[in-house]
Chains A and B, each alone.
Chain A
Amino acid sequence: MPEEKSPQSTSEKFTLSRREFVATVGGAAATSAVLSTVDLGVLETPVFAAETPPVDKFHSLITLRVNGDTHRLVIDNRATLADVLRTELGLTGTKIGCSRGECGACTVIMDGRAVYSCSILAVDAQHGKIETIEGMAVGGRLHPLQQAFLDHDAMQCGFCIPGQLMALKAALDRNPNLSREELRYAISGNICRCGCYANIIDAAEQARPVMKKV
Chain B
Amino acid sequence: MRTVGERIARPDSLDKVQGTAQYVDDLSFGAMLHAAVVRSPLAHGRIKKISTAAARRIRGVHAILTAQDIPGQNLIPMIQPDQPLLAAGEVRHIGEAVALVAAETKSAAEEAARAITVDYEALPAILTLEEGFAKREIVQHWKLRRGRPCDIFSRHDVVVVENTYQTPYQEHAYIETNGMIAVPETDGGITVYGSLQCPFYVQKAVASVTGMKMNHCRVIQTVTGGGFGGKEDAPGLPAAMVALLAQATGRPVKYILSREEDMQVMSKRHPGKIVYRSAASHDGILLAVDVDYFLDAGAYATLSPVVLWRGINHAAGPYRCEHVRVDAYAIRTHKVPCGAFRGFGEPQIVFAHERQMDLLAERIGLDALQFREKNALETGDHTVTEHELKESVGFKDTIIEVRRASNYDRLKLEIEKSNGARISENPPNPKRRGLGWGCCYYGVGLGARGGYLNPAGASVVISSDGSVNVAVGTTEIGQGMITVLSQIAADALGCPLEFIRIMPPDTSRVPDSGPTVASRTTLMSGNAIADACRQIKSRMAAVCADYDFSKIIAEMKSQAVAASARGETHPKSDFHRIVTSSYTPSNRASGHWSEEAWLWKATIQRCVQNMVQLSAHGWAVPPQTTYDGETGLGDVYVTYSYSTNLVEVEVDIETGETTVLKVWTAHDVGKAINPQTGEGQIEGGVVQGIGYGLLEEHVLATDGSKAATRKTGKGGPFPPGRILNDQFSTYIIPTPMDIPEIHSLIVEHAFPYGPFGAKGLGETPIIAVAPALVNAIANATGIQLREIPATPERVWQALKQEASRRTQQSPRRSRKAASAI
* Interface residues in chain A, defined as those with a beta carbon under 8 Å from any beta carbon in chain B: 86, 91-100, 102-103, 105, 132-134, 136-137, 142, 146, 149-151, 153, 155-162, 165, 184-185, 187-201
Contact = CB atoms under 8 A, between A and B. Distances in A.
Contact of A132 (B9, B19, B687): B19
B728 interface: yes
Contacts of A146: 17-18
Nearest to B21: A158
Contacts of B14: 150
B194 to A, nearest CB: 14
B175 A153 contact: no
Contacts of A97: 175-177, 225, 259
A96 B735 contact: no
Contacts of B174: 157, 159, 193
A159 B226 contact: yes
Given A86-B26, A150-B583, A155-B10, 19 more contacts: A92-B22, A94-B19, A97-B175, A103-B728, A153-B677, A155-B13, A156-B478, A159-B175, A160-B175, A185-B737, A188-B735, A192-B175, A193-B174, A193-B175, A193-B226, A193-B733, A197-B687, A197-B736, A198-B742
Given A158-B223, A198-B739, A153 B13 contact: yes
Contacts of B259: 97-100, 102-103
Contacts of B19: 91-94, 132-134, 136, 162
B539 to A, nearest CB: 36
B164 to A, nearest CB: 30
Given A142-B17, A159-B175, A194-B684, A153 B737 contact: no
Nearest to A157: B478
A191 B17 contact: no
Nearest to B685: A195
Contact of A149 (B13, B729, B742): B13
28 contacts: A91-B19, A94-B19, A95-B176, A97-B176, A103-B728, A149-B13, A149-B17, A150-B14, A153-B7, A153-B13, A155-B16, A155-B17, A155-B478, A156-B226, A156-B684, A157-B224, A159-B23, A161-B17, A162-B19, A165-B17, A187-B736, A191-B175, A191-B735, A192-B736, A193-B226, A193-B688, A198-B742, A201-B736
B491 interface: no
Nearest to B681: A156
B12 A158 contact: yes
Nearest to A132: B19
A97 B258 CA distance: 8
Contacts of B172: 193
Interface of B: 7, 9-10, 12-23, 25-26, 172-177, 223-228, 258-259, 477-480, 583, 676-677, 680, 683-688, 727-729, 733-737, 739, 742
B684 to A, nearest CB: 4
Contacts of B680: 153, 156, 194, 196, 199
A158 B483 CA distance: 14
Nearest to B737: A188
B648 to A, nearest CB: 16
Nearest to A142: B17
Nearest to A148: B17
Contacts of B735: 188-189, 191, 197
A70 to B, nearest CB: 20
A167 to B, nearest CB: 10
Given A102-B729, A150-B13, A153-B13, A95 B739 contact: no
A141 to B, nearest CB: 11
A91 to B, nearest CB: 8
B226 A195 contact: no
Contacts of B228: 193
Given A133-B19, A158-B12, A188-B735, A193 B477 contact: no
CB-based closest 5 A-B pairs: A93-B19, A195-B687, A159-B225, A157-B478, A158-B16
A150 B683 contact: no
B175 to A, nearest CB: 4
Among A97, A137, A153, A185, the one with the most B-chain Cβ atoms within 10 Å of its Cβ is A153
Contacts of A98: 259, 727-728
Contact of B736 (A94, A102, A157, A184): A184
Chain A interface, DSSP helix/strand/loop, else mixed: loop
Nearest to A195: B687
A88 to B, nearest CB: 12
Contact of B225 (A93, A158, A191, A197): A158
Nearest to B734: A195
B13 A158 contact: yes
Contacts of B688: 193, 195
A47 B676 CA distance: 48
Among B21, B23, B25, B729, the one with the most A-chain Cβ atoms within 10 Å of its Cβ is B21
Nearest to A192: B175
Contacts of A94: 19
Nearest to A133: B19
Contacts of A150: 9, 13-14, 17, 583
Nearest to A163: B175
Contacts of A151: 9
B26 A153 contact: no
Contacts of A92: 19, 22-23, 25-26
Contacts of B175: 95, 97, 103, 105, 157, 159-160, 191-193
A198 B23 CA distance: 24
B173 A99 contact: no
Contacts of B21: 158
Contacts of A160: 175, 225
B736 A188 contact: yes
Contacts of A187: 736
A98 B7 CA distance: 34
A175 B174 CA distance: 31
A97 B16 CA distance: 16
Nearest to B730: A102
Nearest to B766: A195
A162 B13 CA distance: 12
Nearest to B14: A150
Contacts of B10: 153, 155
Nearest to A166: B19
A199 B677 CA distance: 11
Contacts of A91: 19
Contacts of A195: 683-688, 734, 739
Contacts of B15: 158
A196 B17 contact: no
B413 to A, nearest CB: 28
A92 B688 CA distance: 28
B18 to A, nearest CB: 6
Contacts of B734: 191, 195
Contacts of B18: 93, 133-134, 136-137, 142, 146
B177 A197 contact: no
Contacts of A93: 18-20
A184 to B, nearest CB: 5
B144 to A, nearest CB: 33
A7 B759 CA distance: 53
B248 to A, nearest CB: 25
A94 B735 CA distance: 20
A149 to B, nearest CB: 5
A162 B680 CA distance: 19
B738 to A, nearest CB: 9
Contacts of B683: 195-196, 198-199
Contacts of A153: 7, 9-10, 13, 676-677, 680
A157 B176 contact: yes
A192 B173 CA distance: 9
Contacts of A134: 18-19
B342 to A, nearest CB: 11
Contact of A193 (B25, B173, B676, B737): B173
Nearest to A199: B680
A197 B16 contact: no
Contacts of A136: 18-19
A110 to B, nearest CB: 17
